Amino acid sequence: MPDPKQALKLAVVGHTNTGKTSLLRTLTRNPRFGQVDDNPGTTRHVEGARLLVDGQAAVELYDTPGMEDGIALLDYLDQLAAPGTRTDGPERIRRFLDSPESRRRFEQEARVLHKLLECDAGLYVVDVRDPVLGKHKDELAILAGCGHPLLPVLNFTRSPEQRLTSWREALGRLGLHAIVEFDTIAPALDGEAQLYDKLALLLDRHAAPLMTLKNDVIRQRADRHADALRLIAELLVDAAALRLSCPPDHDAVQAATATLRRSIREREAACVAALLKRYNFRSHDFPAHTLPLEGERWGMDLFHPQALKDVGIHVGKGMAAGAMAGATLDAFTAGLSLGAATLLGAAAGGLWQGADKLGKRVLGKLKGYQEISVDDAVLRLLALRQLALLEALEARGHAAQAPIEIAGSPALTPQEQADPDGWRSGKLPDELLEARSQPQWSTLADNYQASARHRDVVQSLTRKLAAGHPGPMGSSAAPPGGLSF
């Protein structure tokens, strides 16, 4: 039995420029690991990373330089073999590691083989856009000489130029039947789980820690999803509850509208930053000047009516355009126009606060003040944008270099038109309607006050969002919607 304290060691090997470092970035969820470039020989040394479960290293992964000279190395290995003697693979590799060329022409290959000899198994990364060539077969023969199991990991499987079938056939001929498909740029939602499953089959002595790691990965994914929906729910409640009051003259209304828009924009940017952080993507993947996000739909201002139309939100006739777009102006009504249910909520909100609030509102009413709040359509847009970003983040590998883009085609997909979550049309969730009547719930407001009801509402909105977006636990292996490379 393996020592439970000893982590399983895996060497990530393969031909040059097939995405070995990318695989490590995606598995470690660390976009800063190593160096990634579309060039041969980007990684020139072995670099390790530990995957932690509860602070303990479960698996050690080693990123190695690419094999570049397999055919010549195999020639050299033959040359090293003393005539008439039969030596096994690892012995031949060791003899090569002692040879002078292991420090010159084959220095990179020597580092790979040295590490693979130390490890329990190797992940052989394949760029399936490459044709199957003789050098790949020779390289695999040398790697197999180390005497450890090899699991081919097929990368770039989502690329249109993939040659998946010929690679599967060729690997099968070489006796490698356990194969896993893992696109490091856009991994399938259950890609990691599949990878660890296959590894556990291959390395049954290490099956237990691999299963622990797999379950941990699944749990973390679910945690991330729940946290993200919570962040979005907080944003929506903050935006829905925000009410600015202003004197009834034109200039003051304009100024208050500008303030409202600025705070909502900043709040959205803060939510985007928090989501990126939670998913461990770099904020500089999204240059500041293009925030919220790149792409037409994202670049468009939150308060522009076209932005609403583009995502299929029905814009009513009453929707103001121009300077007042996206803001709703109410005369002070002392809460009486807000509907019986919300009024009840306000009444039950504690006499102390209620009286205080009511007093202020009545005073405002007497002075003829007006209140500005965010339009329903803007709330819908906020929700749709954040949910689309969440979807993109979940489908994105940490090796991806291109900035996130949410496909901004004017024509909606049939699924989008069906509007499964009811964000494009239909009634806003009750939680947001209730938040409308509770200005002190908005953390953007000066008089923000925490209350248990606020928390309940955020939680119930989170659950509602989760029902529309079940995330990793619900629909596994769904293609990444709207992500373009």
What is the distance between the alpha carbons of residues 297 and 290, in angstroms, rounded to a whole number? 11
How many Å apart are CA 80 and CA 113, to the nearest integer?
16
Distant-in-sequence, close-in-space partners of 436: CB < 8 Å, separation ≥ 6: 240, 241, 338, 342, 373
Instruction: Return the structure tokens found at 444.
Output: 């953007």
Q: What is the CA radius of gyration of the chain?
A: 29
- The reply to whether 274 sits near other proteins by the rule CB under 8 A is yes
> Least separation, in Å, of the C-beta of 436 and other proteins?
16
Among 10, 33, 186, 377, binds other proteins (CB under 8 A): 33
- Print the binding letters for residues 1-20 with other proteins: x by CB under 8 A, - otherwise: --------------xxx---
Strands (E), 156-218: 180-181
- Does position 134 interact with other proteins (CB under 8 A)? The reply is yes
Query: Amino acid letter at 87?
Result: T
Rank residues 29 and 95 by Cβ distance to other proteins and give the closer one: 29
Q: In this complex, which beta carbon is closest to other proteins, that of residue 68 or of residue 416? A: 68
- Give the whole-angstrom CA distance, residue 239 versus residue 429: 14
Does position 117 bind other proteins by CB under 8 A?
A: no
Of 62 and 303, the one with the shorter C-beta distance to other proteins is 62
Of 342, 416, 428, 338, the C-alpha closest to 383 is 428
Distance in angstroms (rounded) separating the CA atoms of residues 133 and 151: 19
Q: Are 403 and 285 contacting, i.e. CB atoms less than 8 angstroms apart?
A: yes
Decide if residue 350 touches other proteins (CB under 8 A). Answer: yes
Residues that contact other proteins, how many (by CB under 8 A) = 76
Direct distance between the N- and C-terminal alpha carbons of the chain, in angstroms, rounded to an integer: 44
Residues 374-413 interacting with other proteins (rule: CB under 8 A): none
Please report whether residue 41 would count as binding other proteins according to CB under 8 A. yes
Give me the least distance between CB of 44 and other proteins, in Å please: 4
Q: Binding other proteins by CB under 8 A: which of 120, 234, 375, 391?
A: 234
The residue within the footprint of other proteins, chosen from 29, 304, 314, 360 (CB under 8 A), is 29
Q: What residues contact residue 418 under an 8 Å CB cut-off, 6+ apart?
A: none
The residues in 156-175 that bind other proteins, with binding defined as CB under 8 A, are 161
Is 453 a residue that touches other proteins (CB under 8 A)?
yes
List of residues 6+ apart from 415 with CB closer than 8 A? none
> Contact between 336 and other proteins (CB under 8 A)?
no
Applying CB under 8 A, which of residues 75, 98, 266, 301 lies at the interface with other proteins?
75
Question: Does position 47 bind other proteins by CB under 8 A?
Answer: yes
Q: Helix, strand, or coil here: 280?
A: coil
Least separation in angstroms between residue 123's CB and other proteins is: 15
Residue 95 in contact with other proteins, rule: CB under 8 A: no
Of 198, 191, 199, 200, the residue nearest 218 (C-alpha): 191
Does 51 help bind other proteins (rule: CB under 8 A)?
yes
Among 95, 158, 230, 314, contact with other proteins (rule: CB under 8 A): 230
The token duo for 36 is 């990634």
**Tally of CA atoms within 13 A in the half-sphere of 18 that contains its CB:** 30
- Residue 57 or 291: the one with the smaller Cβ distance to other proteins is 57
Q: How far is the CB of 174 from other proteins (least distance, A)?
A: 14
Cβ proximity to other proteins, 194 vs 280, nearer residue: 280
Applying CB under 8 A, among 71, 80, 300, 329 the residue interacting with other proteins is: 71
